[in-house]
Amino acid sequence: MDTPRWANILSAPYLAFMSQLFVPNSIALRNFDAVFKHNTFGPWSKKVVVTFHPTYVAMHPVGLALLAAMGDIWRKQHLEVSGTMNPDIRSIPFLQRMGLFGAMGFDDPKLIATHEETGRFIPLRKIRTGDELEEFIKTIDPLLHTTRENSRVIKHVFSELIRNVIEHAGAGAGANVCATYNRRKNKISIGISDSGKGLFNSIARSHSLKDDRDAILKALTPGVTGSTSRIGGNEQNAGAGLFFTKCIAQSTRNNFLIYSGTAYFKLKVAPVGQRIVFNPDPLLDKCSLKTGIPNFEGTLIGLDINIGDQSAFRDLIDRIGDAYQLGVKKSKKDFTKRIRFT
Protein backbone atom coordinates (compact mmCIF):
# COMPACT_ATOMS: atom_id res chain seq x y z
CA MET A 1 0.00 0.00 0.00
CA ASP A 2 1.42 3.41 -0.94
CA THR A 3 2.17 5.80 1.89
CA PRO A 4 -0.73 8.28 2.04
CA ARG A 5 -0.04 11.99 1.85
CA TRP A 6 -1.83 14.93 3.41
CA ALA A 7 -4.23 17.11 1.45
CA ASN A 8 -4.97 20.68 2.47
CA ILE A 9 -8.15 20.56 4.52
CA LEU A 10 -9.37 23.73 2.84
CA SER A 11 -9.51 22.07 -0.58
CA ALA A 12 -10.17 18.41 0.25
CA PRO A 13 -13.55 17.12 -1.00
CA TYR A 14 -15.98 15.44 1.39
CA LEU A 15 -16.61 11.88 0.24
CA ALA A 16 -19.69 10.41 1.89
CA PHE A 17 -18.88 6.83 0.91
CA MET A 18 -15.63 6.87 2.90
CA SER A 19 -15.19 6.11 6.58
CA GLN A 20 -14.24 9.24 8.48
CA LEU A 21 -11.92 9.68 11.46
CA PHE A 22 -12.04 13.18 12.93
CA VAL A 23 -9.23 14.22 15.29
CA PRO A 24 -10.63 16.86 17.70
CA ASN A 25 -8.74 19.88 18.99
CA SER A 26 -7.99 18.17 22.31
CA ILE A 27 -7.55 14.59 23.47
CA ALA A 28 -6.74 14.27 27.16
CA LEU A 29 -7.69 12.00 30.01
CA ARG A 30 -10.03 14.58 31.49
CA ASN A 31 -11.97 15.10 28.22
CA PHE A 32 -11.47 11.73 26.55
CA ASP A 33 -15.06 11.66 25.28
CA ALA A 34 -14.04 14.23 22.66
CA VAL A 35 -12.63 11.37 20.54
CA PHE A 36 -16.13 9.93 20.10
CA LYS A 37 -17.64 13.05 18.54
CA HIS A 38 -18.25 12.40 14.82
CA ASN A 39 -16.45 9.02 15.10
CA THR A 40 -17.53 5.37 15.06
CA PHE A 41 -14.12 3.53 14.92
CA GLY A 42 -15.46 1.00 12.46
CA PRO A 43 -16.51 -1.15 10.87
CA TRP A 44 -14.37 0.68 8.35
CA SER A 45 -15.15 0.88 4.65
CA LYS A 46 -12.31 0.17 2.23
CA LYS A 47 -11.36 3.85 2.22
CA VAL A 48 -10.69 5.96 5.31
CA VAL A 49 -10.25 9.74 5.49
CA VAL A 50 -8.47 11.19 8.54
CA THR A 51 -9.33 14.82 9.22
CA PHE A 52 -7.60 16.95 11.87
CA HIS A 53 -9.24 19.89 13.61
CA PRO A 54 -8.36 22.94 11.48
CA THR A 55 -6.86 25.23 14.14
CA TYR A 56 -5.09 23.35 16.93
CA VAL A 57 -4.68 19.81 18.27
CA ALA A 58 -3.55 19.30 21.88
CA MET A 59 -2.84 15.66 22.59
CA HIS A 60 -2.03 13.63 25.69
CA PRO A 61 0.01 10.45 25.05
CA VAL A 62 -3.25 8.49 25.39
CA GLY A 63 -4.44 10.18 22.18
CA LEU A 64 -1.17 9.48 20.38
CA ALA A 65 -1.36 5.82 21.39
CA LEU A 66 -5.00 5.52 20.30
CA LEU A 67 -4.31 6.93 16.83
CA ALA A 68 -1.19 4.77 16.46
CA ALA A 69 -3.33 1.69 17.14
CA MET A 70 -5.82 2.91 14.53
CA GLY A 71 -2.96 2.92 12.04
CA ASP A 72 -2.17 -0.68 12.98
CA ILE A 73 -5.81 -1.66 12.47
CA TRP A 74 -5.97 -0.03 9.03
CA ARG A 75 -2.79 -1.77 7.91
CA LYS A 76 -4.08 -5.09 9.23
CA GLN A 77 -7.30 -4.65 7.26
CA HIS A 78 -5.46 -3.38 4.12
CA LEU A 79 -7.52 -0.20 3.96
CA GLU A 80 -6.86 2.76 1.68
CA VAL A 81 -6.20 5.76 3.92
CA SER A 82 -5.96 9.45 3.06
CA GLY A 83 -5.69 12.53 5.21
CA THR A 84 -6.83 16.16 5.22
CA MET A 85 -5.10 18.78 7.35
CA ASN A 86 -4.60 22.49 7.59
CA PRO A 87 -0.81 22.81 7.12
CA ASP A 88 -0.74 25.82 9.46
CA ILE A 89 -1.85 23.90 12.58
CA ARG A 90 0.54 25.11 15.31
CA SER A 91 0.84 21.67 16.93
CA ILE A 92 2.15 19.87 13.83
CA PRO A 93 5.80 20.01 15.03
CA PHE A 94 4.89 18.36 18.36
CA LEU A 95 2.72 15.67 16.77
CA GLN A 96 5.36 14.99 14.15
CA ARG A 97 8.21 14.82 16.69
CA MET A 98 6.18 12.36 18.76
CA GLY A 99 5.97 10.13 15.67
CA LEU A 100 2.20 10.31 15.23
CA PHE A 101 2.01 10.65 11.46
CA GLY A 102 4.44 7.83 10.76
CA ALA A 103 2.62 5.59 13.26
CA MET A 104 -0.65 6.23 11.41
CA GLY A 105 1.01 5.39 8.10
CA PHE A 106 1.45 8.92 6.73
CA ASP A 107 4.38 10.95 5.51
CA ASP A 108 5.40 13.77 7.84
CA PRO A 109 3.62 16.92 6.62
CA LYS A 110 6.56 19.32 6.95
CA LEU A 111 10.24 19.68 7.72
CA ILE A 112 10.92 20.52 11.37
CA ALA A 113 13.90 20.92 13.66
CA THR A 114 14.37 17.67 15.57
CA HIS A 115 14.46 18.35 19.31
CA GLU A 116 16.40 16.14 21.70
CA GLU A 117 14.04 13.79 23.50
CA THR A 118 16.18 12.71 26.48
CA GLY A 119 14.52 13.67 29.75
CA ARG A 120 11.57 15.35 28.02
CA PHE A 121 9.52 12.77 26.15
CA ILE A 122 9.44 9.29 24.64
CA PRO A 123 8.15 9.38 21.04
CA LEU A 124 5.82 6.65 19.85
CA ARG A 125 7.65 3.39 19.43
CA LYS A 126 6.78 -0.24 18.78
CA ILE A 127 7.64 -3.00 21.22
CA ARG A 128 6.99 -6.54 20.02
CA THR A 129 9.29 -8.82 22.04
CA GLY A 130 10.60 -9.30 25.54
CA ASP A 131 14.08 -8.27 24.42
CA GLU A 132 12.75 -5.01 22.97
CA LEU A 133 10.89 -4.37 26.22
CA GLU A 134 14.02 -4.98 28.28
CA GLU A 135 16.00 -2.58 26.10
CA PHE A 136 13.24 0.04 26.33
CA ILE A 137 13.12 -0.10 30.14
CA LYS A 138 16.86 0.59 30.26
CA THR A 139 16.41 3.83 28.32
CA ILE A 140 13.64 5.59 30.27
CA ASP A 141 15.47 6.68 33.44
CA PRO A 142 16.23 10.19 32.10
CA LEU A 143 12.50 10.85 31.73
CA LEU A 144 11.67 9.94 35.31
CA HIS A 145 13.47 12.73 37.21
CA THR A 146 12.98 10.96 40.53
CA THR A 147 14.57 8.71 43.13
CA ARG A 148 15.79 5.20 42.39
CA GLU A 149 12.92 3.68 44.38
CA ASN A 150 10.26 5.77 42.65
CA SER A 151 11.88 5.04 39.31
CA ARG A 152 11.62 1.32 39.99
CA VAL A 153 7.90 1.64 40.63
CA ILE A 154 7.24 3.61 37.43
CA LYS A 155 9.36 1.25 35.31
CA HIS A 156 7.30 -1.61 36.73
CA VAL A 157 4.18 0.11 35.34
CA PHE A 158 5.69 0.30 31.85
CA SER A 159 6.93 -3.29 32.06
CA GLU A 160 3.63 -4.78 33.23
CA LEU A 161 1.48 -2.98 30.68
CA ILE A 162 3.72 -3.71 27.71
CA ARG A 163 4.31 -7.32 28.75
CA ASN A 164 0.54 -7.82 28.84
CA VAL A 165 0.39 -6.79 25.19
CA ILE A 166 3.29 -9.01 24.15
CA GLU A 167 2.02 -12.09 25.99
CA HIS A 168 -1.78 -11.83 25.88
CA ALA A 169 -3.13 -9.30 23.37
CA GLY A 170 -2.45 -11.25 20.20
CA ALA A 171 -1.33 -8.02 18.55
CA GLY A 172 1.02 -8.81 15.70
CA ALA A 173 1.99 -5.14 15.42
CA GLY A 174 3.06 -5.09 19.08
CA ALA A 175 2.54 -2.38 21.68
CA ASN A 176 2.54 1.35 20.96
CA VAL A 177 4.09 3.32 23.82
CA CYS A 178 4.86 6.99 24.37
CA ALA A 179 5.25 9.41 27.28
CA THR A 180 5.84 13.07 28.08
CA TYR A 181 7.28 14.89 31.09
CA ASN A 182 5.75 18.16 32.33
CA ARG A 183 8.48 19.97 34.24
CA ARG A 184 6.15 22.60 35.74
CA LYS A 185 3.82 19.98 37.22
CA ASN A 186 6.58 17.38 37.71
CA LYS A 187 4.27 14.89 36.04
CA ILE A 188 4.76 11.99 33.63
CA SER A 189 1.95 11.18 31.18
CA ILE A 190 1.86 7.73 29.59
CA GLY A 191 -0.06 6.18 26.70
CA ILE A 192 0.06 2.50 25.69
CA SER A 193 -2.10 0.75 23.09
CA ASP A 194 -2.41 -2.32 20.90
CA SER A 195 -4.56 -3.48 17.99
CA GLY A 196 -5.03 -6.99 19.36
CA LYS A 197 -8.07 -9.00 20.39
CA GLY A 198 -9.20 -6.76 23.23
CA LEU A 199 -9.82 -7.46 26.90
CA PHE A 200 -13.04 -9.39 26.38
CA ASN A 201 -11.51 -12.04 24.13
CA SER A 202 -8.41 -12.26 26.29
CA ILE A 203 -10.14 -12.72 29.65
CA ALA A 204 -13.06 -14.79 28.30
CA ARG A 205 -10.63 -17.67 27.74
CA SER A 206 -10.71 -18.38 31.47
CA HIS A 207 -13.63 -16.41 32.94
CA SER A 208 -17.33 -16.00 32.26
CA LEU A 209 -18.08 -12.50 30.96
CA LYS A 210 -21.23 -10.62 29.96
CA ASP A 211 -19.77 -7.80 27.87
CA ASP A 212 -16.85 -5.38 27.46
CA ARG A 213 -17.79 -3.54 30.66
CA ASP A 214 -17.55 -6.79 32.60
CA ALA A 215 -14.19 -7.55 30.96
CA ILE A 216 -12.72 -4.22 32.06
CA LEU A 217 -13.92 -4.67 35.62
CA LYS A 218 -12.47 -8.18 35.71
CA ALA A 219 -9.16 -6.92 34.31
CA LEU A 220 -8.94 -4.33 37.09
CA THR A 221 -9.76 -6.86 39.81
CA PRO A 222 -6.64 -8.16 41.60
CA GLY A 223 -5.91 -11.84 40.98
CA VAL A 224 -7.89 -12.15 37.74
CA THR A 225 -6.00 -13.02 34.56
CA GLY A 226 -7.00 -14.45 31.20
CA SER A 227 -4.25 -17.07 31.42
CA THR A 228 -6.05 -19.09 34.12
CA SER A 229 -9.38 -19.30 35.92
CA ARG A 230 -7.48 -19.63 39.19
CA ILE A 231 -7.95 -16.56 41.41
CA GLY A 232 -4.50 -15.21 42.14
CA GLY A 233 -3.16 -16.22 38.76
CA ASN A 234 -0.13 -18.41 38.31
CA GLU A 235 3.64 -18.06 38.55
CA GLN A 236 3.80 -16.27 35.18
CA ASN A 237 0.83 -13.94 35.59
CA ALA A 238 -0.64 -12.91 38.93
CA GLY A 239 -3.40 -10.70 37.53
CA ALA A 240 -1.90 -7.63 39.19
CA GLY A 241 -0.64 -5.37 36.39
CA LEU A 242 -3.69 -3.19 35.72
CA PHE A 243 -4.65 -3.07 39.40
CA PHE A 244 -1.12 -1.96 40.26
CA THR A 245 -1.15 0.69 37.52
CA LYS A 246 -4.50 2.10 38.65
CA CYS A 247 -3.17 2.34 42.21
CA ILE A 248 -0.07 4.24 41.07
CA ALA A 249 -2.19 6.92 39.38
CA GLN A 250 -4.56 6.97 42.33
CA SER A 251 -1.77 7.40 44.87
CA THR A 252 -0.59 10.63 43.17
CA ARG A 253 -4.16 11.89 42.66
CA ASN A 254 -4.26 11.53 38.90
CA ASN A 255 -6.42 10.03 36.16
CA PHE A 256 -6.15 6.49 34.82
CA LEU A 257 -8.08 5.26 31.79
CA ILE A 258 -8.58 1.88 30.15
CA TYR A 259 -10.60 1.51 26.95
CA SER A 260 -11.38 -1.71 25.11
CA GLY A 261 -14.28 -2.80 22.94
CA THR A 262 -17.33 -0.64 23.60
CA ALA A 263 -16.52 0.40 27.17
CA TYR A 264 -14.04 2.43 29.16
CA PHE A 265 -13.16 2.95 32.83
CA LYS A 266 -11.70 6.26 33.97
CA LEU A 267 -10.41 6.85 37.48
CA LYS A 268 -11.25 10.37 38.62
CA VAL A 269 -8.82 12.60 40.48
CA ALA A 270 -9.14 12.38 44.26
CA PRO A 271 -9.37 15.80 45.96
CA VAL A 272 -6.40 16.95 48.03
CA GLY A 273 -6.95 15.94 51.64
CA GLN A 274 -9.12 12.93 50.81
CA ARG A 275 -7.69 9.65 52.08
CA ILE A 276 -6.47 7.36 49.30
CA VAL A 277 -7.87 3.83 49.47
CA PHE A 278 -6.75 1.07 47.09
CA ASN A 279 -10.01 -0.73 46.38
CA PRO A 280 -9.86 -4.33 45.11
CA ASP A 281 -13.33 -3.70 43.65
CA PRO A 282 -12.92 -1.00 40.94
CA LEU A 283 -16.57 0.03 41.29
CA LEU A 284 -15.74 1.35 44.77
CA ASP A 285 -13.38 3.90 43.23
CA LYS A 286 -14.47 7.38 42.25
CA CYS A 287 -14.72 6.65 38.56
CA SER A 288 -16.55 7.00 35.27
CA LEU A 289 -17.57 3.74 33.59
CA LYS A 290 -19.11 4.14 30.15
CA THR A 291 -20.59 1.62 27.72
CA GLY A 292 -22.12 1.77 24.26
CA ILE A 293 -19.27 3.88 22.91
CA PRO A 294 -17.54 3.36 19.53
CA ASN A 295 -15.90 -0.05 19.35
CA PHE A 296 -12.11 -0.10 19.69
CA GLU A 297 -10.67 -3.46 18.66
CA GLY A 298 -7.61 -3.43 20.88
CA THR A 299 -6.85 -2.01 24.31
CA LEU A 300 -5.82 1.52 25.28
CA ILE A 301 -4.36 2.65 28.61
CA GLY A 302 -3.48 6.18 29.72
CA LEU A 303 -2.35 7.60 33.04
CA ASP A 304 -0.55 10.46 34.73
CA ILE A 305 1.91 10.12 37.62
CA ASN A 306 3.16 13.00 39.79
CA ILE A 307 6.72 11.93 40.49
CA GLY A 308 7.41 14.73 42.97
CA ASP A 309 4.89 13.50 45.53
CA GLN A 310 7.22 11.57 47.81
CA SER A 311 4.49 10.84 50.34
CA ALA A 312 2.46 9.07 47.65
CA PHE A 313 5.34 6.69 46.89
CA ARG A 314 6.23 5.93 50.50
CA ASP A 315 5.66 2.21 51.19
CA LEU A 316 3.59 2.14 48.02
CA ILE A 317 4.46 -1.37 46.92
CA ASP A 318 3.66 -2.81 50.34
CA ARG A 319 0.34 -0.96 50.48
CA ILE A 320 -0.66 -2.15 47.02
CA GLY A 321 0.44 -5.68 47.91
CA ASP A 322 -1.80 -5.60 50.98
CA ALA A 323 -4.76 -4.46 48.88
CA TYR A 324 -4.02 -7.20 46.34
CA GLN A 325 -4.02 -9.86 49.05
CA LEU A 326 -7.28 -8.52 50.47
CA GLY A 327 -8.96 -8.66 47.08
CA VAL A 328 -7.76 -12.17 46.33
CA LYS A 329 -8.69 -13.54 49.74
CA LYS A 330 -12.24 -12.23 49.33
CA SER A 331 -12.51 -14.35 46.19
CA LYS A 332 -10.56 -17.36 47.40
CA LYS A 333 -10.38 -17.95 51.15
CA ASP A 334 -7.33 -20.24 51.13
CA PHE A 335 -5.10 -18.03 48.98
CA THR A 336 -2.05 -17.08 51.05
CA LYS A 337 0.81 -16.48 48.60
CA ARG A 338 2.02 -12.88 48.78
CA ILE A 339 2.43 -11.21 45.44
CA ARG A 340 5.83 -9.62 44.88
CA PHE A 341 6.00 -6.51 42.69
CA THR A 342 9.58 -6.71 41.40
Question: pLDDT tens string for the chain (342 positions)?
Answer: 455 555 554 444 444 557 899 999 999 999 999 999 989 998 898 999 999 999 999 999 999 999 999 999 999 999 999 998 998 898 999 999 999 999 999 998 887 777 677 778 999 999 999 999 999 998 898 888 888 888 888 888 899 899 989 988 999 999 999 999 999 999 999 999 999 999 999 988 877 899 999 999 999 988 766 444 443 333 444 347 798 899 889 988 999 999 999 999 999 998 888 888 888 899 999 999 999 999 999 999 999 999 877 777 777 766 776 665 655 455 544 333 333 433
Q: Where in the chain is the domain with CATH 3.30.565.10?
A: 119-342
- Rounded distance, CA 251 to CA 278, Å? 8
First to last CA, the chain: 43
pLDDT at 225: 60
Phi, psi for 292 (deg, rounded to 5): 70, 20
- One-letter amino acid identity for 36? F
Q: How far, in Å, CA of 112 to CA of 48, rounded?
A: 27
Which has the closest alpha carbon to 179: 249, 254, 138, 123? 123
Helices (H), 168-220: 198-203, 212-219
Helix, strand or coil, per DSSP, at residue 195: coil
Tell me if 340 sits within 8 A of 100, measured CB to CB.
no
**Under 8 Å between Cβ of 246 and 256:** yes
Distance (Å, whole) CA 163 – CA 185: 29
Sign of CA dihedral 326, 229, 133, 116: negative
Model pLDDT, residue 113: 72
Question: CA dist 229 to 71, 108, 233, 330, Å?
Answer: 33, 46, 7, 15
| Alpha helix (H) residue ranges in 192-281 | 198-203, 212-219, 241-251
pLDDT of residue 144: 86
Which residues, other chains included, contact 337 with Cβ-Cβ below 8 Å and sequence gap of 6+?
A: 232
pTM: 0.86
Q: What's the confidence (pLDDT) of residue 190? A: 96
What's residue 270's pLDDT?
86
| DSSP H or E segment with residue 127 | strand 121-127
Q: What pLDDT, on the 0 to 100 scale, is given for residue 317?
A: 67
Pick the CATH number of 119-342 from 3.30.565.10, 3.40.640.10, 1.10.3720.10, 3.40.50.2000: 3.30.565.10
What confidence score (pLDDT) does residue 282 get?
Answer: 92
Q: What is the pLDDT of residue 238?
A: 38
Nearest CA to 25 among 34, 16, 33?
34
Specify whether the CB–CB gap between 264 and 257 falls below 8 A: yes
CA angle 119, 166, 75 (to 5 degrees): 90
Peptide bond before residue 43 is cis, with ω within 30 degrees of 0: yes
Give the separation between CA 88 and CA 226, rounded to whole angstroms.
46
